[in-house]
Each structure stands twice: as C-alpha cells, then as structure tokens.
Amino acid sequence: MGNEEAREGISSRISVVVVNWNGIAYLGDCLQALCEQTRLPDEVIVVDNASTDGSAELVAERFPGVRLVRSGANLGFAAGCNLGIRASGGDYVATLNPDALPDPAWLEALAAAMDEDDGLGACASLMLFADRPDTIDSAGIALDLLGIAWDRLGGEPVSTGLEQCEVFGACGGAALYRRRMLEQMGGFDEDFFMYLEDVDLAWRAQAAGWRCLYVPAARVYHAHSASLGEGSSLKNYLKARNKVWLIAKNYPWPQVARWAPLILLADAATVVFACSQGNWAALRGRVRAVGGLPAALRKRPYAGLGQTQWAAVVRRMHGPALPWGIWHRFAHLNGRGTRWPRGKVP
C-alpha cells in the first residue's frame, strides 16, 4: 500500500496492524481511510481472528494491497497484535482498531512526533466518539496509584485535549509504537486476551525508561466497544480479571505494601457496588484472576527496580480519587456502545 514518491526522504518504515474479529461493519471504512493517509503506511496487516461475518473475504476482495493474516481461532487483541507485529517489518508499528476511523493526517502526525525524539516508545492519538465527534473518547492512558486505569479526558469536549504532552501510555486502539520498545518489552501480554493489555505494556515501558507522547493532531473517530458492547458481561469479566494481574505484575515492592490497604478497599467497594447492580462478572473475573496470580507474579519485571526508577514512573501516575471521583472517570461510558452509519464518515 502506498507509493514511493509520497515516502521520499522518510527513513522510518511504518507498519499498521489491524486486529479484526467480525468487524465487517467497520473494517472497509477503516482500511479505506488508511489508503487516504497523507503519510502512507509502508504496509498494512489485517490479523483476522477467525471471523465468521465475511470480513476476511472483504479484505481479500477490496484491498489486495493489504496483507491478510488469518488465525485459526479468536486470539484476542493482545495475541492478535503480537502476531501482526511479528509479521511486520516497520521501524514503527501502529495498532488500529477496525472500528476506529483515522483522519487523513493521523499517521503523519504520529510519525513526525516519533521521529523527533528517540526516547519515545509510543505516541497516543486523540480518539473521539464516532457519534459525538466533539467529545473525547481517549487522549492517552491515565493510571492512578491504586492501579485504576482509564481513558484520559474521556467525556470531555475536544477543546480540552488540544495540548501535546507526555502521558502514561497510549490506547492500543490507535497508537504508534517504536519497534525497539516492543521488542525490549516482549510485546503485549497475551494472557490478558483483551482490555488493559495496553496499560500493562505502558507500565512496563515506563519502568524501562521509555516515554509516551500524546499527539492531538493525530485524530481518529472511534465506535467505542463495538466488538463486545460497553457494560457487557464478558468485558466486565475481562477487565476485572486483568486489573488484578496488572497490579500483580507491575506494582513494585515495597511500594505496593504502602498502597495495598487502599487498593483492596477501593476494589472491594467496586465489587460490592457492581454486584448490587447485577454485574456478577466483576466478581467472577477477580476470582479467576486469583488462579492466574502465580503466572502473573512470575512475569514481574521489577526485581531490581530502584527508588529512582519508581519515582520516574510515579510522575506519570495520578493520585487516588474519592469514590465519586473514580465514578466520574467512567460516567460518560454508562450504557454506551457507538457506531457510525455505513457509508457516512464523521
């Protein structure tokens, strides 16, 4: 995909990896938008997770320049991304959800930022709701000292997200990663399957000294939770399970001991509230996480993490919030799950 004239004078090669599972309602528009980028990718790879809706056939028929990698099963986002990354050859690797529609200048803005700073391991996009393009879906990953992650500036007007700045990490739904960072970190943790795997990668990268830049000029329009739906039982289960593993893997000793009482109290309150609302998946996910704790603890990268390194990580973290502050971070997602009409680009 692309042409040599458009890439003349650009040394860094860019691969785009799109992990798809039954995304035919969005995939065609997403790939067409990649064909219209002002900085054309050197290759586009679609990893199809055993879709049954004809989306893999759509890629083969309509986008012959796209490399189609078919998996034999639904590998999830983390393993699907890793499969695409291994198949790619770019110095930079962009991950893009099939339900995310990038502006024409999206890839150019991300690549320009990455080119200017060798210390950047990732660049985050300005993700806007597809059905509310004046409202932010994500402006990078935010994480607090209780291990709670959320989409930075989620639900805020777009005018609040116009400042370029360093953030904790990039939402994997529309991000650009440096291959050297991905190789050093070993890519995404495939045990997470989907949800919070990008937070886990960001946390490991921060501890290793990599930084992440939020680039507001890189805009995409996102049909939030198009795959599973916001508030679905499976999504709640996976996020609950993965949150436990996220903390178990990445919070260093003895710092976790300092925050453990508040972490446990906040998490218990979350579970009680969720179950009172009929969301028993929040409890099931945490119970399942306990069985996977030995494997998560074996992957801890922090055996030798010093106080200086931890101080560098914590500078990118937020302080703990009161219960209503935590609720406010996610209030704009209640009952949501968006899409854009076929053939109608925001």
Residue 51: partners with Cβ closer than 8 Å, 6 or more residues away: 20, 21, 22, 23, 24
DSSP helix/strand/coil, 12:
coil
pLDDT in tens, 195-249: 999 999 999 999 999 999 999 999 999 996 655 555 688 999 999 999 999 999 9
Instruction: Determine the Cα–Cα distance for residues 202 and 199; give it in Å rounded to an integer.
Output: 5
Q: How far apart are CA 138 and CA 119, in angstroms?
A: 23
Right CATH for 1-346 from 3.40.50.620, 3.20.130.10, 3.90.550.10, 3.40.720.10: 3.90.550.10
Q: How many CB atoms lie within 10 A of CB 73?
A: 8
pTM: 0.91
Most confident of 155-159, 229-233, 277-281, 329-333: 155-159
pLDDT digits (tens, 9 = 90+) for 26-84: 999 999 999 999 999 999 999 999 999 999 999 999 999 999 999 999 999 999 999 99
Residues sharing a CB contact under 8 Å with residue 179, sequence separation 6 or more, in sequence order: 85, 90, 91, 92, 93
| Mean per-residue pLDDT over the chain, rounded | 90
- Per 3-state DSSP, what percentage of the chain is helix, strand, and coil (rounded to 5)? 40, 20, 35
pLDDT band for position 163 (cuts 50, 70, 90) = very high
Contacts of 293 (CB under 8 A, 6+ apart): 244, 245, 248
Domain boundaries, the chain: 1-346
Bridge partners of residue 176, in order along the sequence: 94, 123
Q: Which two tokens stand for residue 325?
A: 């502050």
Q: Is the peptide bond before 254 cis (omega within 30 degrees of 0)?
A: yes
> When comparing pLDDT for 327 and 30, which is higher?
30
Phi and psi angles of residue 308, each rounded to the nearest 5 degrees, phi first: -65, -45
CA dist list (Å): 75 to 20, 22, 51, 57, 97: 10, 13, 11, 19, 15
Q: How far apart are the C-alpha atoms of 68 and 182, rounded to whole Å?
A: 22
Question: pLDDT tens, 77-103?
Answer: 999 999 999 999 999 999 999 999 999
